Structure 1
Amino acid sequence: MITWKDMTPAQRGVLLGAASIQLSLAVSAWADLASRPAGEVNGSKAKWAGIIAINFVGPIAYFARGRKR
């Protein structure tokens, strides 16, 4: 198992960058879901709230498929 101390500065930067993007996507998706009326969401809001928590895939799926246009 690789620990934080074992990583090079470049590896730490990539990890922090990816974590930042993931967190930004999730927060944006949850904020949109919270402010959107249930009638404008494909499926239940509770289901989408859980899906959004799944790495990069969840928020991208919500933005692509979870909102009615």
Structure 2
Amino acid sequence: MLSKEKLARISELSKKSKSTGLSIEEAKEQSALRKEYLETFRATMRDTIESVKIVDPAGNDVTPLKVQEAKKGKFLN
């Protein structure tokens, strides 16, 4: 998870870009922070999806094959 300070800085840079614009250094910082945020978000979402098991009303595992394969690959690595 991204720190509260980094999230606050992303918001601060976003507001500034809308109002007065960003310097080149600030634009680079904003880009790097956004990239880090997206990587963290995607990793968290991937872990969440891979930990889900879907069961139908009859009790059968109907988890999509792609998710099952991702789980297997995760445990093999």
What interval of TM-score do these two structures reach, taking the shorter chain for normalisation? 0.3 to 0.5
Specify which structure has the bigger relative contact order, considering alpha-carbon pairs within 8 angstroms and separated by 6 or more residues.
Answer: 1
TM-score, L = length of structure 2 = 0.42
TM-score, L = length of structure 1 = 0.46
Larger Rg belongs to? 2
